[in-house]
A and B are shown apart, each in its own frame.
Chain A
Amino acid sequence: MTRLKINGQTFAVAAGPETPLLWVLRGELRLVGTKFGCGKALCGACTVHLDGEAVRSCVTPLAAVGTREVITIEGLEGRQAEALRRAWTEIDVVQCGYCQVGQLMSACALLASKPRPSDADIDAAMSGNICRCGTYPRIRAAIHRAAAEVAKAF
């Protein structure tokens, strides 16, 4: 059994050390908010945070997680996350919604490292997350809006 710290709770999981974190989350722990999109770290649908860093869980073996805390969309909280969700809602970013959990995870990690990202920062941080519905212009606008809101709160 491997011990995993996820969203503030500790879980003992039976999966082998080579099992990608994505399938531990979805298949064993039934945390299905994190999505399968490509299996090769090409689309970003499976993005989670490991100690605050955005990683692709589909290519992250359980053994590589170690003692780092996993945050999934189900446990994504805090000022920036709330500001992002609000901006996402006000701008109506979502269409099918399948990639959006990964988009939010990437955007939240971006704001944590760059509180007022430029368009170039957004291009760099978000181009790994594919959206086939084409919500990119609204994602960009929503990140700017959330960043402004968080900045104003100080």
Chain B
Amino acid sequence: MHIKRRHFLLGTAGAAGALIVGWLAAPPRQRLLPAHPLPLSPGETALNGWVKVGSDGSVVVMMSQAEMGQGAHTGLAMLLAEELDAAWESVRLEQAPLDSIYNNQAAIVESMFDPDDHGVFERTARHVVRRILREIPNLSGTGGSSSIRDQWLPLREAGATARLMLIGAAAQSWGVPATECHTDAGRVLHASGRSATYGELAARAARQGLPRTITLKSPAQFRLIGRPLRRIDNAPKLDGSASFAIDALPPGLLYASIAMCPTAGGRVARFDGAPALAAPGVRKVVALDPVKGGVGSVGVTAGGVAVIADTPFHAMRALELVRIDWDHGSAAGLSSQRIFDDLTRALDTSEGRAHLEKGDVTAALARAAKTIRADYRVPLLAHTTMEPMNATVQFKDGAATVWAATQAAGFARADVARVLAIPASKVEIRVPYLGGGFGRRYLTDCLQQAARLARETQGAPVQLIWSREQDIAHDYFRPAFQARCHAGIDATGNLIAWKMTTAGSSLGAPSFADMSSDGAANTAYAFPSARVAHRSVETPVSMGIWRSVSHSQNAFFVESFIDEVAAAAGQDPLAYRERLLTGNTRHLRVLKRLRELSGWATPVSAGADDARRARGVALHRCFGSIVGQVAEVSVTGGRKIRVHRVACVIDCGVAVNPNLIRQQIEGGIVYGLSAALHGEITLEDGRVRQSNFHDYVPLRMFECPDIVTEIIADTAVPGGVGETGTPPIAPAVANALFALTGQRLRTLPLKPV
């Protein structure tokens, strides 16, 4: 790959005026040089905004992305080390400052455009949006399976640029042409036998001008990309030394516990904190107003009362002594039943806003030899990250230090600054490891509460820890959804009409940015006529993004209903999908490999328990990747679903680290399977009925299937991985249950009757 790096010059002083014209035609404004120089430790030299080199030869990758298990730290470091020709063992990470070069363009751009549309208008629009995003501060973020996609070019460009500067430094000091030098494992070498380490060359390299052009490696030249390298965060996570936000231990740390109004959106009417204040170790009792979670969510986190004390247990115990009268607010009478009644009524009375309209679906349905109708439902879901919501804030001398398990450091900084009424520049956000994110940690509600409490402690740091009960009751849930499906087939079983209308929360998005039909309106299937629409129905419950967002429900609707149509046509469900994907080579290749990997053609034999088994298939595209899964299930005792084996094939373009990809597929399947078999948040009288892991049940070891994953080698730009394993598993299991029992389960979690 040879790329003209004209836009690099845009970052150099004085060049901007001359190159504005270039902006219009060239790639988006450079992401190489930050607005302010990087902070340096002794011996370090910054070569651009993504990499520093230490005099000891260590390579420090500036990391803007949160590590919440998805392996981004390892995968992203590989991208830079690849082009730099760094010695992998010498690579270290440092949290990047907040700067617009780290803005996550992919997460935003890819969510705005149709994956199949590569027309001139679309490309231009993407380009313009990327340019605008370059100018907005604080849009870094870890989500949307986008870290590798977003930094695929900037990190490699940064590595390649730094490498050329190091070569330039060596060539200059040796008096030889740069073209005679090459690099290997952290050294520049010359044919004469001379060599120098990057550490020795860094200071001189930083004085070289930026190269005008760079050449990125072709896939055949990759030494790191494509290898199943081990995670770089293994060791500290196995000896207890890895620091999560909840492990922050600044001197003088105080702890806070909180009781929030059990009713969605409620607040404190009045409270008596005196008995709690009299308890040992207690410093303060503070009432907190409801707070908004932030971008990508609707609703509020209920108000509450917090106790600040010397130790976590003192705070927890004293909290029980606080007497609180709640103002339950408008959601007091809300129930799950009413939410679903509202969704049904919306579908009865509205056709929704169309996100896909193709052909005359009404006419096609009218002439169909057979029509199939079905309604599907999915419930509210909690995230339950293993590390419960928590945040630590120290507010002293007009400045704040924050230890935040956040997927969006920029939003976190802005929200803390607002609560403390100080400029954002006075807030330092430290992002340790995240004990799970799944979308929940995009929101800053707990952080805002902790910032509010930090105003009460005279400069002492305070750590707010939610109990698991609070974490579940006050989550921003995956919305409940209902889908109304209507399809028509002709006399030979061909699908001629496809209609799907969903109802549920649009997460507060305006209609042009509504992602509710993602994964339903933009499937790869060639429907001769189709209408896919969404009707936004908002309820006063806090809801937000949950691993794979709309794909989590839409894959269940689409892939279950396709299966119903195939059954109505009397055809094999996998072959039926293939016919709808004629000419679509990447999807067909996934299905072909899945057919082989799952043993689709051979009957499935009963297991050791003698229970009959069956297979079900599902295919879904999201975040730039295509994932197919076949689940093998049995039912015991008439009710108990057992998933024995899941075969999974993914095409995610260039597989940067196959090991990490497999991990994410396995994790995505387990996460989705928890939801498919058990996950359900229900409301009664405005309150969440579930409270802990006994009634909001995750998959456990004894229920976990064997998972085999095959990655298709492709050279397309990398697709996302972190969320892609989740959407297909629920329909794959539901379809297997249909094959096994003839029962079509259209509601999650799956409950055979």
Q: Which residues of A contact B666 (CB under 8 A)?
A: 134-135, 137-138
Indicate with 1 or 0, residue by residue over B417-453, a CB within 8 angstroms of chain A CB atoms.
0000000000000000111111000000000000000
Chain A residue numbers with a CB within 8 Å of B15 are none
The chain B residue with its CB closest to the CB of A14 is B311
Q: How far is the CB of B71 from chain A (nearest CB, A)?
A: 7
Between B235, B255, B692, B704, the greatest number of chain A beta carbons within 10 A of the residue's beta carbon is seen for B704
Within 8 A of A (CB), among B519-540: none
Are B436 and A132 in contact, with the CB atoms below 8 A? yes
**Cβ-defined contact, B701 with A140, below 8 A:** yes
Complex Cα–Cα for A104 and B238 (A): 8
In angstroms, how far is the closest chain A Cβ from the Cβ of B338? 30
The segment from B206-214, B384-392, B394-402 found at the interface with A is B384-392
Cβ B667 vs Cβ A95 within 8 A: yes
Structural contact, B238 and A89, CB atoms closer than 8 A = yes
Pull 28 A–B residue pairs with CB atoms less than 8 Å apart, ordered by A.
A32-B247, A36-B388, A36-B465, A37-B386, A39-B692, A40-B693, A42-B693, A43-B468, A73-B240, A76-B239, A92-B230, A92-B231, A94-B69, A95-B70, A95-B663, A96-B436, A101-B238, A104-B238, A123-B701, A127-B701, A128-B700, A132-B436, A133-B436, A133-B670, A134-B667, A134-B668, A134-B704, A136-B704
CB-CB under 8 A from A28, the residues of chain B are 311
Of the candidates A32, A85, A90, the one having the most CB atoms from chain B within 10 angstroms of its own CB is A32
Tell me which residues across on chain A come within 8 A of B69, comparing CB atoms: 94-97, 133
Q: How far is the CB of B588 from chain A (nearest CB, A)?
A: 28
Instruction: Report yes or no: A132 in contact with B240, Cβ–Cβ below 8 A.
Output: no
Pair A98/B435 contact, Cβ less than 8 Å: yes
Chain B min CB distance to A50 (Å)? 17
* Residues 327-376 of B at the A interface (beta carbon under 8 Å): none
Known pairs A33-B240, A73-B239, A134-B667 / 17 extra A-B pairs, C-beta < 8 Å = A15-B313, A19-B313, A32-B240, A33-B241, A40-B694, A43-B386, A72-B240, A74-B240, A92-B231, A92-B234, A94-B237, A95-B667, A98-B244, A130-B386, A133-B386, A134-B666, A134-B699
Chain B 108-161 residues near chain A, CB threshold 8 A: none
* B391 → A minimal CB distance (Å): 14
**What 7 A-B pairs have minimum CB-CB distances, sorted nearest first?**
A33-B240, A134-B670, A98-B435, A96-B69, A97-B237, A95-B69, A73-B240
Quote the shortest CB–CB distance from A41 to chain B (angstroms).
10
In the complex, chain B residues whose CB is within 8 Å of the CB of A129:
701
Q: How far is the CB of B15 from chain A (nearest CB, A)?
A: 43
A126 interface residue (CB < 8 Å to B): yes
The residue in chain B whose Cβ has the minimal distance to the Cβ of A140 is B701
Whether B694 pairs with A89 at a CB distance below 8 angstroms is no
In the assembled complex, which residues on chain B have CB atoms less than 8 Å from the CB atom of A136? 670, 699-701, 704
A100 touches B434 (CB 8 A): no
Let me know if A55 is at the binding interface, CB within 8 A.
no
Within 8 A of A (CB), among B222-242: 230-231, 233-242
**Of A34, A100, A132, A137, which contacts B671 at CB under 8 A?**
A132
- Chain A residues whose C-beta falls within 8 Å of the C-beta of B233 in the assembled complex: 94, 97
Taking the complex as formed, is A27 at the interface, i.e. its CB lies under 8 A from any CB of chain B?
A: yes
A146 beta carbon closer than 8 Å to chain B? no
Interface bracket on A: 35 or more
User: A1-56: which residues lie under 8 A (CB-CB) from chain B?
Assistant: 15, 19-20, 23, 26-28, 30-40, 42-43, 45
Q: How far is the CA of A105 from the CA of B246 in the complex (A)?
A: 20
Take A23-B311, A135-B666 as given contacts and tell me if A30 and B249 are in contact as well, using a CB distance cutoff of 8 Å: yes
Whether a CB of chain A sits under 8 angstroms from the CB of B195 is: no
A53-88 interface mask toward B, CB cutoff 8 Å, 1 = contact, 0 = none? Answer: 000000000000000000011101000000001001
A131 interface residue per 8 A CB criterion: yes
Verify B700–A94 contact, CB threshold 8 A: no
Identify which of A34, A42, A88, A97 contacts B242 (C-beta below 8 A). Answer: A97
A109 within 8 A of B: no
Q: Are A26 and B700 in contact (CB under 8 A)?
A: no
Closest A residue, CB atoms, query B468: A38
Which residue from A42, A100, A126, A138 sits with its C-beta under 8 Å from B238? Answer: A100
- Shortest CB-to-CB span from A2 to chain B, Å, is 14
Contact with A along B30-74 (1 / 0, CB 8 A): 000000000000000000000000000000000000011111000
A32 vs B311: C-alpha distance when bound (angstroms): 13
| Given A35-B387, A130-B698, A92 contacting B313 (CB threshold 8 A) | no
CA distance A76 to B239 in the complex (A): 8
B239 engages A85 (CB within 8 Å): yes
What are the interface flags for B642-676 relative to A under an 8 Å C-beta threshold, 1 for contact and 0 otherwise? 00000000000000000100010011111100100
Give min CB distance, B240 to chain A, whole Å: 2
A147 at the interface (CB under 8 A from B): no
A96 to B240, Cβ gap below 8 A? no
User: With a CB–CB cut-off of 8 A, which chain B residues contact A23?
Assistant: 311-313, 316
| A99 at interface, CB cutoff 8 A | yes
- A122 part of interface (Cβ distance < 8 Å): yes
Q: Choose from A32, A95, A98, A99 the contact partner of B71 (Cβ within 8 Å).
A: A95
| B435-A97 in contact (CB<8A) | yes
Q: Is the CB of A40 within 8 A of B692?
A: yes
Asked if A111 lies at the interface with its beta carbon under 8 angstroms from chain B, I say no
List chain B residues, Cβ under 8 A from A36.
Answer: 246, 312, 388, 465
**In this complex, what residue of A is CB-closest to B230?**
A92
Task: Name the distance in Å between B294's Cβ and chain A's nearest Cβ.
Answer: 21
Bound Cα distance from A85 to B241, whole angstroms: 14
Interface flag for B702 (CB, 8 Å): yes
What chain A residues lie within 8 Å of B387 (beta carbons)? Answer: 35, 37, 96, 98
| B468 A137 Cβ-Cβ under 8 A | no
Whose C-beta in chain A lies nearest to the C-beta of B238?
Answer: A85
B230 to chain A, nearest CB (A): 6
Report chain B residues within 8 Å CB of A32. 240, 243, 246-247, 249
**Residues of A close to B693: CB separation below 8 A:** 38, 40, 42-43, 130
Q: Does B714 contact A (CB under 8 A)?
A: no
CB-defined contacts of A85 to chain B, threshold 8 Å: 238-239
Q: Does B90 sit within 8 A of A, measured CB to CB? A: no
Q: How distant is B160 from chain A, measured CB to nearest CB, in Å?
A: 28
| B465 / chain A contacts, CB cutoff of 8 Å | 36
| Residue contact B312 to A89, C-beta cutoff 8 Å | no
Residues of B within 8 A of A128 (CB): 700
Type the 1/0 row for B439-483, where 1 means its CB is closer than 8 Å to any CB of A. 000000000000000000000000001011000000000000000
Residues in chain B near residue A92, CB distance under 8 A: 230-231, 234, 659, 663
CA distance A134 to B699 in the complex (A): 8
Q: Does B171 sit within 8 A of A, measured CB to CB? A: no
Residue of B nearest to A20 (CB): B313
Closest chain B residue to A33, Cβ basis: B240
By a CB distance below 8 angstroms, the chain B residues around A45 are 386
Once bound together, how far apart are the Cα atoms of A26 and B584, in whole Å? 55
Is there an interface contact between B386 and A89, defined as CB atoms closer than 8 Å? no
Within 8 Å by CB of A96, from B238, B311, B435, lies B435
**Bound CA span A99–B233, Å:** 14
Structural contact, B234 and A96, CB atoms closer than 8 A: no
Nearest-CB residue, chain B, relative to A85: B238
Q: Verify if B216 is at the interface (C-beta below 8 Å from A).
A: no
Across the two chains, which residue of chain A brings its CB closest to B242? A97
CA A50 to CA B128, docked complex, whole Å: 61
Complex CA–CA separation, A114 to B241 (angstroms): 28
Chain B, 465-515, CB within 8 A of any chain A CB: 465, 467-468
